Each structure stands twice: as structure tokens, then as C-alpha cells.
């Protein structure tokens, strides 16, 4: 890390004895043990996924595009079988027809919850876009519109009471999202699932796995979660999947989800006119990408902490997702940070981020996202709700060298 940071400082023309230069070198030293641990986790996943491809006898014929109904699509079938094995579920749906993480989560919620059923969010408010799915923003066609009841638990006691009162499903969000809550560890998810199952074995545990994939050695489906959903333009797409979402879980529930995704009886439909190579190769490289993203996050945490800014999590705290929050404390600093990140992106580096009211969000947000895949957040990007305490959320980083280079440059602009 020290050599990498030394090289990047040179490239940036920042002297090692300047405020930012010295902090960057110190940060590089401090994060080294964490970087080693991240590298080890990535290596384990890398080996595991490579061996899975072998077990499923993956070959280039599986990459072929399919059209029309997509009947007998071996590329899709093998991809879904590999995915289920990698995540520890019985079955999976991995499709370009799932357009976002929210779509994947919405399919799970809609498949399990019937009119009159109670859905419980285990840890308070869900991610902004999921609120619209549940019906908290008055959207037509939401679960609420179909008569699904909803409540939020805060802590185990409230969760137990909600499940005792007959909840059909419990929603567990792994990442903290834009909230102050920390990301859950897989062990914490296991604990929540066992609490729910201890009260009612039939209550379905649905995990929003966005940003969490491959951060730890196990996934929520390894520890009892019934349905787990996420986006392919985040961690598990490895920056290569051009679109898509996934759902992994118990076979009988995956059947229900497929009935919502397509129509009942049509689970075996679904072509990929662009083929499957990007999805396989993306999954294969994903642990490496998640490792690079985590290294970028840890370094950023330590650098900004050394420069006197509050950060969540700290560099040496356990991580459940790839998100790093940095409290910049002022609107101007926040926008300057985002401008610098955007200016150092591989794509759209000539544009400046502007705060806007993005669909599905309740307040102004500003984003720096110069990504190859539109909106991809496994690629290095930063976004922020433009309001106090002016925290910026960093995520992604296919190349730690790129992410760290941009973050040091942003620090320089903010500190001087
Ligand atoms: C990204 C994300 C989602 C889904 O977002 P999409 O933009 O629809 O993919 C849901 N929950 C969390 C915690 C997320 O980070």
C-alpha cells in the first residue's frame, strides 16, 4: 500500500511532507493489516467460484445469445445453477430482465406477501426506493395498494412481537444504505433469522443483499435466509454485467418469485440477446472487484480520519458492505469532493455533478458517477444527500489505484 500511495502522490504532484501527503502515507501504513485480510477473503471466493465453474462444466457455448422465449437456454440455466451454489441457495433467478436491485427485492416481497399479510422491516426504515415498493410514498401499485400491511421493528423485542402477531415476511437490509445504521454482518443476519424462525418457522426472511456480496466469506443464504436479492450492477456483476438482478433462495419460494417475474408457469422463459459472457465473467471477477472497493473504502476512511473528519465505519471496524461514509460538514466541501471524483472518472470526466431530486428519493441528492455501466456502483462512485451533516457516501472501485488516486485528490482540494 505504501508504494502504491507513494506512486499516486507523485502522479498528483503532492509532496509527501505536505498535510495530505503525510496523512496519505500514514493511512497506507495503518490500513495494511486490513488490506491483507480483504485480500484473503477475495482469494477464497476467487478459488470457490473458479471451482464452481469447473463443477458445472462451464464452456464458451454457455455464453451464446438467445432470442425469443429463451426456451432451453443452457447459458441461463447454468448461470442460475452456479449462482445458487455460490450463494448457498437451492435455486436462483439471474436475469437481465430484472432491471434493478429494487426490482429484485420488489419481486421477493410481492411473491411472498398476499392481501392482508403483514410485512415487517426488521431494522427500521428500508432503503428509499424500497419504501415506494412497500407503499410508504403513496405510489399506486405498491404492496399497500394490494392490501399488504407493514410495520417496522427496532430491535429484537419488537421483531419477536411482530412475528408473534403473524407476520408473513420479515425484510432484512444488509447494508445501512443512506441511514445512520451500520451494515449488518452475516452473523447478525443469522441471528435475526434464527430469532424469526424461533417464533415462527413459516415466516419468510427476505434479505436485501445490495452492496454486501463477497464482503464476507458467507452469504445470508448460507445462514438460513429464505430469499436473498441484489443488483448485478453492484458487487456480483463485477463491473462487467451490463444490467440485471438476482434472487437466490429456497426452491419453492423461487418458484413464486418466477411467477411474479414472468407469469405463473413461465419460469423457463427468458432470453439474453446479449449472451451470458459478461454475467459469468463478472461473477468470476466480482470478489476481486469487491476487494478493490473495500481497499479503497478503508484507505479513504483512514485518510479522512487523519485529516480530522468523522468517518463511518472506521478503517479497522468490521465491514458488512462496501460503503464508506465521510462527514464533510459543509455543502461546499461536499460538492467540491464530488466534483473532484467526477473529474477523475474514466467516463464523463468533463461534466460537473449537480444536486437534483432523483425519482424515488425524498430529498436532493448529488452524485459523482463516471461509470462505464450507467449507475453502476461497483465502479468507483460517490453520492450524497445534500443536507446536514453533509456526509458523502463512497462506494465501489474496480481499481483501488484509481479510487485512491481520486480520493487523495479530493482530500487535497478540501484541505487546502
Ligand atoms: C442499491 C440498493 C438497493 C436497490 O437499488 P437499485 O438502484 O434499484 O439497484 C436496495 N437496497 C440497498 C441497501 C441498496 O444499496
Mutate to test the pocket of ligand 1, among 101, 171, 173, 209 (most ligand atoms within 8 A of CB): 101
Length of the chain: 416
Q: What are phi and psi of 365, to 5 degrees?
A: -130, 155
Cα–Cα dist 86/365, whole Å = 35
pLDDT at 360: 65
User: What is the per-residue pLDDT across 219-278, written as a single tens digit (0 to 9) for each?
Assistant: 999 999 999 999 999 999 999 999 999 999 999 999 999 999 999 999 999 999 999 999
Q: Residue 225: which of 265, 189, 272, 175 has the closest Cα?
A: 189
CB-CB contact of 169 with 159 (8 Å): no
pLDDT at 359: 75
**What's the whole-number mean pLDDT along residues 70-83?**
98
| Structure-model confidence comparison of residues 363 and 69, the more confident one | 69
> How confident is residue 362, by pLDDT bands cut at 50, 70 and 90?
confident
**What's the whole-number mean pLDDT along residues 286-295?**
98
**What's the whole-number mean pLDDT along residues 61-74?**
97
Cα–Cα dist 32/302, whole Å = 11
Helix/strand/coil percent split, the chain, to 5: 45, 15, 40
pLDDT at 357: 87
CA-to-CA dists, residue 183 to 175, 206, 213, 325, 367, angstroms: 4, 16, 12, 12, 21
**What's the whole-number mean pLDDT along residues 365-373?**
94
Question: How much is the mean pLDDT over the chain?
Answer: 96
Give the residue ranges of DSSP H helices in 96-236. 101-112, 128-134, 156-164, 186-199
Q: Is the CB of 211 under 6 A from ligand 1?
A: yes
The alpha carbon of 264 is separated from its chain's Cα centroid by a whole number of angstroms, namely: 29
Q: Is the CB of 66 under 6 A from ligand 1?
A: no
User: What is the per-residue pLDDT across 90-136, written as a single tens digit (0 to 9) for each?
Assistant: 999 999 999 999 999 999 999 999 999 999 999 999 998 999 999 99
Cα–Cα dist 33/39, whole Å = 10
Burial class (CB in 10 A: 0-12, 13-18, 19+), 263: exposed
Atom 2 of ligand 1 has which residue's CA nearest to it? 210
Longest dimension (CA), the chain: 66
User: What is the per-residue pLDDT across 323-356, written as a single tens digit (0 to 9) for each?
Assistant: 999 999 999 999 999 999 999 999 999 999 999 9
Residue whose cell numbers read 392490501: 147
pLDDT at 177: 81
pLDDT at 139: 87
Q: How many CB atoms lie within 10 A of CB 169?
A: 24
User: What is the per-residue pLDDT across 172-199, written as a single tens digit (0 to 9) for each?
Assistant: 999 998 788 999 999 999 999 999 999 9
User: What is the per-residue pLDDT across 216-229, written as a single tens digit (0 to 9) for each?
Assistant: 999 999 999 999 99
> Does the pLDDT value for residue 74 go beyond 90?
yes
Residue whose cell numbers read 477475495: 42
Cα–Cα dist 173/12, whole Å = 38
Q: How far is the CA of 188 from the centre of ligand 1 (A)?
A: 20
C-alpha cell of 3?
508504494
Q: Is the CB of 102 under 6 A from ligand 1?
A: yes
Amino acid at each position: 500500500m505504501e508504494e502504491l500511495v507513494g506512486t499516486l502522490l507523485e502522479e498528483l504532484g503532492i509532496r509527501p511532507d505536505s498535510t495530505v501527503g503525510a496523512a496519505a502515507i500514514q493511512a497506507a501504513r495503518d490500513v495494511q493489516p486490513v488490506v491483507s485480510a480483504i485480500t484473503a477473503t477475495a482469494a477464497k471466493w476467487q478459488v470457490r467460484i473458479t471451482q464452481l465453474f469447473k463443477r458445472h462444466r462451464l464452456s464458451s457455448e454457455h455464453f451464446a445469445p438467445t432470442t425469443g422465449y429463451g426456451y432451453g437456454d443452457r447459458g441461463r440455466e447454468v448461470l442460475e445453477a452456479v449462482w445458487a451454489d455460490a450463494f448457498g441457495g437451492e435455486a436462483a433467478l439471474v436475469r437481465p430482465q430484472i432491471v434493478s436491485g429494487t426490482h429484485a427485492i420488489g419481486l421477493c416481497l410481492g411473491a411472498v406477501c398476499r392481501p392482508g399479510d403483514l410485512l415487517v422491516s426488521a431494522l427500521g426504515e428500508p432503503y428509499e426506493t424500497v419504501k415506494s415498493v412497500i407503499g410508504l410514498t403513496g405510489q399506486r401499485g405498491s404492496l399497500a395498494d394490494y392490501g399488504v400491511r407493514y410495520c417496522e421493528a427496532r430491535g429484537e423485542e419488537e421483531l419477536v412481537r411482530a412475528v408473534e402477531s403473524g407476520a408473513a415476511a420479515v425484510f432484512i437490509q444488509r447494508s445501512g444504505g443512506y441511514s445512520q445504521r451500520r451494515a449488518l454482518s452475516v452473523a447478525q443476519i443469522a441471528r435475526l433469522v434464527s430469532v424469526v424462525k424461533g417464533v415462527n418457522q413459516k415466516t419468510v426472511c427476505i434479505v436485501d443483499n445490495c452492496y454486501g456480496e463477497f464482503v464476507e466469506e458467507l452469504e445470508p443464504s448460507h445462514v438460513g435466509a429464505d430469499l436473498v436479492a441484489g443488483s448485478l450492477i453492484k458487487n456480483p456483476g463485477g463491473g462487467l454485467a451490463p444490467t440485471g438482478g438476482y434472487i437466490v433462495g429456497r426452491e419453492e419460494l423461487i418458484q413464486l418469485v418466477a411467477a411474479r417475474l414472468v407469469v405463473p408457469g413461465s419460469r423457463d422463459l427468458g432470453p439474453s440477446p446479449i449472451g451470458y459472457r459478461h454475467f459469468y465473467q463478472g461473477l468470476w471477477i466480482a470478489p476481486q472487484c469487491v476487494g478493490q472497493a473495500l481497499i479503497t473504502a478503508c484507505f479513504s476512511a483512514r485518510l479522512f480520519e487523519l485529516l480530522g473528519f468523522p468517518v463511518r465505519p472506521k478503517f479497522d471496524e468490521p465491514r458488512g458492505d462496501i460503503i464508506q461514509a465521510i462527514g464533510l460538514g459543509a455543502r461546499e466541501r461536499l460538492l467540491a469532493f464530488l466534483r473532484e471524483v467526477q473529474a477523475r472518472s474514466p467516463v464523463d470526466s468533463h461534466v460537473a455533478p449537480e444536486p437534483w431530486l432523483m425519482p424515488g428519493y425524498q430529498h436532493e441528492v448529488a452524485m459523482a458517477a463516471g461509470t462505464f455501466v450507467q449507475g453502476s456502483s461497483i465502479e468507483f462512485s460517490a453520492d450524497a444527500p445534500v443536507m446536514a451533516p453533509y456526509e458523502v457516501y463512497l462506494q465501489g472501485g474496480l481499481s483501488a489505484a484509481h479510487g485512491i488516486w481520486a480520493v487523495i485528490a479530493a482530500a487535497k482540494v478540501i484541505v487546502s
